[in-house]
Amino acid sequence: MRIYLPATFAMLTGLNETGKMPARSGWGFAATPALVEFYTSGDEEEIGYAAYLDAAEASLRLLAIGDEEAFPYRRVVVSVDLDDSVVTLAPDNGESVVALSPAEISLADIAAIHIDVEEAEEATRAAIAAIDASDLGDEDAELTVGNAQDNFMAFYDPTELPFLVELL
């Protein structure tokens, strides 16, 4: 099953060093049956993209913690392919939410790495400041988060991880 994990650049650095990365709090996002039911139309790719966007939004929450030093205003999403046996659907937490057990992935699980481009940093910074208000229904904050969500995240092959960590 394709799972989208919210991450930070520091988490990528740890993945590069150890070959392992925790799924923060044990959660990820996927094109679950509940998400398919939520979207009454759309193909598998479009529904998968909705789960990916949920992970990108969750990356904002990780950045809001404030412990990312290298790139505090760049969202990161790691796409992984995991066996269904380690994935538990958790629709009570959101249509695309899944729990992972064990809550750790290895480099071999990674299908792709997505990172905000430099031009997106200003919108991401604003979205980090607005994420809590957005969760509480503030319309202006929702628009701010939406602006960040509209920004392009660059795609990298897993084999590029050492170069990303060294050169970015």
Q: What is the mean predicted confidence (pLDDT) over 12-23?
A: 97
Mean pLDDT (whole number) for 102-117: 97
Query: Domains of the chain by range and CATH?
Result: 2-121+154-160 (3.20.170)
Cis before 33 (ω within 30): no
Contacts (Cβ under 8 Å, ≥6 apart) of 18: none
Q: Residue 168: pLDDT band by 50, 70, 90 thresholds?
A: confident
The token pair that represents 15 in the structure block: 């993945």
Q: Which percentage of the chain shows pLDDT scores above 70? A: 100
pTM of the entire structure? 0.96
Q: 98: part of which helix (H) or strand (E)?
A: strand 97-100
The pLDDT of residue 41: 83
How far apart CA 168 and CA 17 sit, in angstroms, is 16
Count of beta carbons in the 10 Å neighbourhood of residue 127: 28
Computed over every residue of the chain, the mean pLDDT equals 96
